[in-house]
Amino acid sequence: MNAVTVDVVVPLGAELRRGPAAWVHGFVDMMRFEWATIRPWAALVFIVQIMMGVGMAIMYGFFYPTVDETTALLITTGVPTLALIPMGFVLVPNSVVNQRMAGTFDFIWSLPVPRSAQVSASFVVNAALALPGTVLALLVGMWRYGVDLSLSPILVPAVLLSTVMCVSVGYGMALLVTNPLVVNLITNALVFLVLLFTPIVYPASNLPTVMMRIHEVLPFYPMAQVIRAGLTEGLVTDVGGPFLMVGVWALLGAGLTARAVGRRH
Amino acid sequence: MIATLDAPAWAPATTLRSGAGYWWTGFTWMLRWHLSSLRMWLMLLVMIQALIGVGYVLGFALFFDEIPPAAALWVSTGVPVLNLILLGMLLGPQLVAGVKEQGGYDFLQALPVPLTAAAAAWYVVTLVGGLPGMVITLVAAELRYHPPFAISPLVVPVTLLIVFTGTMIGYALAHAITKPMTTQLITQALVFVAMGFAPILFPAEQMPGWLASVNEWLPLGPMATIMRDTLTDGLITDAGRAYLVVTVWGVACGWLAVRALGRRR
């Protein structure tokens, strides 16, 4: 009788990969995955972002019989905020909704990559798509209204924190609300509220006191303030409070996302 | 053996049906079709219309420290136009694009209903969807600003005309453009244009001269002009041209749509 030899087959990926190197590896792979998913639409998303940003910079000027210096400054420094909000609160939730409807959502989550790396990758890709439109909107505003800005170092943390906040809240919302229709409704209502009822391109003093108080704890007005503080001098006196508020929302969004991400089905 | 062939118990009529009675039957059937396929959405639509109307009327004031009466009058007489064109021009094409993507379009096309009867039925539905919003907007404007409205009986034909032109533009967008994606894009852009780049919410003088001239040839600005002509006294001095532009757009788009629908594939 011959001796039967059995090769020991080690199943692929039986050992748990972990540590920073595995995370970075997964992050890079997921960034490529995200980019490949979004690539057919990237040009379109890019153009829409630019049109929305530039369009708003020009459009709000039409609302006033005469655009005085203060109004021009408020519009120019408010539009970058307005250009960032749709990215986090419309694009990100919609991409999650599309993944759910197409059935790729569960597939992506089954990939052997840390989920935090997946979320971070999607954040970077979406932010990269949104930032050029934001910058262009700012430039067009400066050109159209002849506004001189004085950039300060605050701008960098302000934009970064705001972007993180928008994406994480948008993500958290899309992950927690599982009904695509409801997500769609929320994002549309948010855009309407942000465009008309949030003191981003007009001073908060135009609002009734109650609404002013409400906006101090919602994320949009503090976000406009920190970005404005990075673009102007003396217009925003207190940046600590708004920074804190944007930070709280970012943490809240990140917490919601982490909760949804960490949950097993 | 002799094979016997049974004559079919029922055969479709071979004569071509035509005439006013046939048209009317088709019209009522299509009306019922549209109303029952929209039944869940109609209530939602009326609510959205109310939100848009009240939202714009109240929200526009926030852009000013103290809204000038002229601006209040312009926005109060402009938002009703947005209400009237929302279903026919902006949502309608998206609905049809959705039907095309789901594959139900050819079925609808195959229904034995005259094209003009189907178009007329859709027109009545868009009228029903637009009127409540218009009334709610005007009431909200009256309560908020007490603008010097001087409503003339002409408002009835003008409303019918605006809805007709809006619906026909939407009909042409939906049926003459074959790719649903293009239709979606154009209607999205139209929403943006209607809000900020057509003199609907604000006077044309607040736009650059060239943009104002372009708008004189496009339908949205003239629609607002004829609406203002019937809601106020003395605000619009010469509306003849605007009536002509709106009518020509309506007829031309209606012709385009019916021609595209009648084409054999």
Confidence of residue B260 (pLDDT cuts 50, 70, 90): confident
- Distance between CA atoms of residues B239 and B186, nearest Å: 28
Binary contact (A52, B192; C-beta < 8 A): yes
- Distance between CA atoms of residues A203 and B58, nearest Å: 16
- Distance between CA atoms of residues A120 and A254, nearest Å: 11
| Residues of chain B contacting residue A48, judged by C-beta atoms under 8 Å apart | 188
Radius of gyration over every alpha carbon of chain A, rounded to an integer in angstroms: 22
Binary contact (A51, B63; C-beta < 8 A): no
Tell me the count of A-B CB pairs closer than 8 A: 57
Model pLDDT, residue B165: 94
Q: Find the angle CA(B257)-CA(B258)-CA(B261) to the nearest 5 degrees.
A: 85
Model pLDDT, residue B8: 62
- Distance between CA atoms of residues B161 and B167, nearest Å: 10
**CA terminus-to-terminus distance, chain B:** 45
- Distance between CA atoms of residues B196 and A58, nearest Å: 9
Radius of gyration over every alpha carbon of chain B, rounded to an integer in angstroms: 22
- Distance between CA atoms of residues B91 and B129, nearest Å: 11
Q: Return the higher-pLDDT residue of A153 and B178.
A: A153
Model pLDDT, residue B32: 93
10-residue stretch averages of pLDDT, chain A, 265 residues long: 62 67 89 87 79 86 88 90 85 82 82 83 83 87 88 89 89 84 83 87 88 89 91 82 92 86 67
Q: Does A52 touch chain B (CB under 8 A)?
A: yes
Distance of CA B162 to the CA centre of its chain: 7
Alpha helices, H only, chain B:
20-37, 39-61, 69-85, 92-102, 105-110, 115-145, 155-176, 180-196, 209-217, 220-231, 240-262
Is residue B182 within 8 Å of B97, Cβ to Cβ? no
- Distance between CA atoms of residues B40 and B29, nearest Å: 19
What sign for the dihedral angle of Cα B244, B245, B249, B250?
A: negative
Is residue B75 within 8 Å of B56, Cβ to Cβ? yes
- Distance between CA atoms of residues B115 and B138, nearest Å: 34
> Which chain B residue is nearest to residue A66, measuring alpha carbons?
B206
Confidence of residue B104 (pLDDT cuts 50, 70, 90): confident
Q: What is the dihedral of CA A124, A129, A131, A136, to 10 degrees?
A: 170
Give tens-digit pLDDT for A206-245.
888 898 899 988 999 999 999 999 888 877 778 888 899 9
Whether residue B91 has pLDDT greater than 60 = yes
Residues 6+ apart with CB under 8 A from B70: A65, B203
Least CB-CB distance to A59: which of B52, B71, B197? B197
Give tens-digit pLDDT for B11-28.
666 677 778 888 999 999
Residues 6+ apart with CB under 8 A from B96: B105, B174, B175, B180, B183
Minimum distance, in Å, between the CA of residue B198 and any CA atom of chain A:
10
- Distance between CA atoms of residues A221 and A225, nearest Å: 6
Mean pLDDT of B71-75: 91
Q: What phi, psi does A208 have (nearest 5°)? A: -60, 150
Alpha helices, H only, chain A:
20-62, 69-86, 92-102, 104-110, 115-145, 155-176, 180-197, 209-217, 220-231, 240-262
What's the Cα-to-Cα distance from A47 to each of A136, A187, B7, B183, rounded to whole Å? Answer: 11, 20, 63, 17
> ipTM score of the complex?
0.77
Give tens-digit pLDDT for B125-164.
999 989 999 999 999 999 999 988 888 999 999 999 999 9
Closest CA to B141 of B86, B187, B73: B73
| Residues of chain A contacting residue B196, judged by C-beta atoms under 8 Å apart | 55-56, 58-60, 62
Q: Which of A28-32, A228-232, B54-58, B104-108 has the lowest mean pLDDT?
A: B104-108
Q: Does B196 touch chain A (CB under 8 A)?
A: yes
Closest CA to B127 of B99, B97, B154, B89: B89
Binary contact (A207, B62; C-beta < 8 A): yes
Least CB-CB distance to A62: which of B52, B188, B206? B206
> Which chain A residue is nearest to residue B69, measuring alpha carbons?
A65
What's the Cα-to-Cα distance from B58 to each of A56, B85, B156, B202, B227, rounded to whole Å? Answer: 20, 20, 25, 14, 20
Confidence of residue B242 (pLDDT cuts 50, 70, 90): very high
Is residue A79 within 8 Å of A201, Cβ to Cβ? yes
A90-102: burial string, b at 16+ Cβ within 10 Å, e else: bbbbbbbbebbee
Give tens-digit pLDDT for B192-225.
888 889 999 999 888 999 999 999 999 999 999 9
> Which chain A residue is nearest to residue B188, measuring alpha carbons?
A48
Least CB-CB distance to A202: which of B55, B62, B207? B62
How much is the mean pLDDT over chain B? 87
Confidence of residue B9 (pLDDT cuts 50, 70, 90): low
Query: Whole-model pTM?
Result: 0.82
Confidence of residue B66 (pLDDT cuts 50, 70, 90): confident
Closest CA to A166 of A53, A250, A45: A250
Confidence of residue B38 (pLDDT cuts 50, 70, 90): confident
What's the Cα-to-Cα distance from A97 to each of A43, A91, A190, B219, rounded to whole Å? Answer: 20, 10, 16, 35
Q: Which of B57, B63, B205 should we substitute to test contact with A (largest number of A Cβ atoms within 10 Å)?
A: B63
Is residue B150 within 8 Å of B233, Cβ to Cβ? yes
Percentage with pLDDT > 70 across chain B? 94
